[in-house]
A = this chain, B = another copy of it.
Amino acid sequence: MPRLVDHDARRRELIRAALRITARSGLEAATMREIAAEAGVANGALAHYFRDKDELLMAAYQHIFDETNRRAATAIGEAHGLTALRRLCREIMPMDDERVDEARVAVSFWGRAAHNPEMSALHEAAMAEWRSRMLTWLRQNRDSGESTLAEPDERIADKLLAAMMGLQVNVLMAPASTTPDRQVEMLESILGGPLPVQDDIRTGSAATSDNR
């Protein structure tokens, strides 16, 4: 019987194996050998999909970014303006175990990307995409004529992106002062307004998904 392999599915499984090891034990533990073992494939099979560890790490970082966007798309639905912006931010903010694991991978990735232009470019592209979406929603909010935001949209996006990235670091290494409640209060403070009643301040994505 010939072996039929779904290459996309296999590739995703390898990425998920790399993410599990990195979240659990760190980037140094995530050797190509360990990842192959975790995924239950031969070293050679892993090498067929990813040239080296950096290529796999970049795929893993992209995967986290895509997953965040996928969750955000579900949470956002048909919403727009500040509601959509809030929901994207809540998916980026590390407020539950899944996203704290993502933070662990992201911070590990950054440690390596700090000296790797190709890896850095991936982060830059992610920031540029989020910024672009944020600016669209901020413009929608402004066009509604009901905006209470007094600052340039670019500055609000600067603040949001810096805060979102800083939270990834501090949730891992200063967790007592980086609780979900305080993360949401920070978001609302940057957006300068009270929390809309339809959003549950505590539970983030689960609540916003369930509410739609």
* Residues B177 and A131 in contact, CB atoms below 8 Å apart: yes
A201 near B: Cβ within 8 Å? Answer: no
Q: In the complex, A92→B186 CA distance in Å? A: 20
Q: How many copies does the complex hold?
A: 2
Q: Give residues 148-182 of A contacting B (CB, 8 Å).
A: 151, 155, 158-159, 161-167, 169-170, 172-174, 176-178, 182
B111:A108 contact, CB within 8 angstroms: yes
Closest B residue to A119 using CB positions: B173
Are A112 and B155 within 8 A (Cβ)?
A: no
Q: A115-B25, A164-B166 are in contact. Are A107 and B110 (CB under 8 A)?
A: yes
Taking a contact as CB atoms under 8 Å apart, the answer to whether A128 and B162 are in contact is no
| Alpha-carbon gap, A109 to B29, bound state (A) | 16
A55 within 8 A of B: no
- Which residues of chain A (122-136) have a CB below 8 Å from chain B? 123-124, 127-128, 131
Scoring A107, A166, A178, A190 by chain B CB atoms within 10 A of each residue's CB, the highest score goes to A166
Give the distance in Å from the alpha carbon of A163 to the alpha carbon of B111 in the complex: 18
Q: A131-B177, A151-B189, A173-B124 are in contact. Are A115 and B26 (CB under 8 A)?
A: yes
